[in-house]
Structure 1
Amino acid sequence: MPRLDPADIGRPLSVGEVAQRSGVAVSALHFYEARGLIHSVRNEGNQRRYARDVLRRVAVIKVAQRIGISLEDIGAALAALPEGRTPNARDWTRLSKNWQQELDARIAHLQALRDQLDDCIGCGCLSLGACKLRNPLDSLSEEGPGPRRILSE
């Protein structure tokens, strides 16, 4: 990739340039914009143009999605950042600390799920021999549909 000319530092980026620099498809950028996660302005030719701080916002979105944070939660976190300012290290620290508790709970749930994979899932099938002991008379159906033992924990 050619080195950036210092004169271009303030130049807004096209959607294609943002896609190339961020590693995100143009369609994903349009989706993020429709969800209010990023913003653009239109030039005289009605083409989207993005400030360079959008690259950091897209990076935050990508990392947060990668660790399983919902777009709704990402949007709420980004909405708390000052508009027009590039998210900085302090912002990222605050965002990531807010997500750590959720991630810890998800990790604990996944570990419990892993440890229970060879046990009854409480599906209500009544076809396994162990179900007479684990789910007699389909009593778990009173708790709701689906695999109750695993979903309830």
Structure 2
Amino acid sequence: MQNIPAMLSVGEVARRSGVAVSTLHFYEAKGLISAERSGGNQRRFRRGVLRRVAVIKVAQRTGIPLGEIKAALDMLPADRPVSGEDWRRMSAAWRDDLDHRIAQLTALRDQLGSCIGCGCLSMEDCPLRNPADRLGKDASGARLIAQDS
């Protein structure tokens, strides 16, 4: 029978998770994961950190901000790995945000061809999106996209 270590070094976590050591240090500094210190002051991680790192990576790929990931992980006990039920709860909470961002991106994609496609490329006086530069009279900046969503 193979001897499975109770604690993993930062290098072992990096190798097994596919995340750079510097990224693990960053996650630790941000409070997303935690390590204990050995007698020689080396980081040692509980095996459950591998599941936490997997959750962080998947959530980041979907565009969830690190602050929201941390808030979700903070709701879980630190002494056990993330369970399937934990993941279902977290992902359900993030689903509405993802659906909203998908809708915003779809609307933006659908507007690109009709607006810039006219060929005028005018930021001040687009007859479709900003006739007579009415937006410029109110304030500066790109506000129209946020108003449409």
Q: Aligning the two structures, in what range does the TM-score lie when normalised by the shorter sequence?
A: 0.7 to 0.9
Distance 1:90 1:6 in 2: 29
Aligned residue in 2 for 1:95: 90
Instruction: State the Cα distance separating 1:135 from its structure 2 match.
Output: 1.4
Residue correspondence of structure 1 range 132-147 to structure 2 within 5 A:
132-141=127-136, 142=138, 144-146=140-142
Select 1:45's aligned residue among 40, 47, 63: 40
Q: Residue 115 of structure 2 contacts residue 128 of structure 2 at CA under 8 Å; is this kept in 1?
A: no
**Amino acid in structure 1 at the alignment position of 2:47:** R
Distance 2:37 2:70 in 1: 22
Q: Which runs of no fewer than 5 residues in structure 2 stay unpaired? A: none
1:7 pairs with 2:3: yes
Runs of 4+ in 1 over 6 A off after TM superposition: none
SS of the residue corresponding to residue 113 of structure 2 reads coil
Instruction: State the Cα distance separating 1:39 from its structure 2 match.
Output: 0.3
Aligned residue in 1 for 2:123: 125
Q: Which runs of no fewer than 5 residues in structure 1 stay unpaired? A: none
- Tell me the number of residue pairs that the alignment of Structure 1 and Structure 2 aligns: 143
SS of the residue corresponding to residue 50 of structure 1 reads strand
Q: Residue 57 of structure 1 contacts residue 87 of structure 1 at CA under 8 Å; is this kept in 2?
A: yes
Q: Identity across aligned pairs (percent)?
A: 57
Distance 1:117 1:124 in 2: 14
For residues 77-109 of structure 1, the C-alpha deviation after alignment (integer angstroms, 9 at most, x for no partner) is: 000011211110110000010011111111111
**Amino acid in structure 2 at the alignment position of 1:8:** I
Distance 2:67 2:89 in 1: 17
Select 1:64's aligned residue among 59, 65, 73: 59
Distance 2:145 2:60 in 1: 24
**Amino acid in structure 2 at the alignment position of 1:70:** P
SS of the residue corresponding to residue 115 of structure 2 reads coil
Cα RMSD after superposing both structures: 1.9
Q: Residue 13 of structure 1 contacts residue 52 of structure 1 at CA under 8 Å; is this kept in 2?
A: yes
Question: TM-score, normalising length from structure 2?
Answer: 0.87
For residues 24-75 of structure 1, the C-alpha deviation after alignment (integer angstroms, 9 at most, x for no partner) is: 0111100000000000011111110000000000000000000110000000
Q: Residue 120 of structure 1 contacts residue 149 of structure 1 at CA under 8 Å; is this kept in 2?
A: no
Distance 2:49 2:146 in 1: 38
Aligned residue in 1 for 2:105: 110
Question: TM-score, normalising length from structure 1?
Answer: 0.85
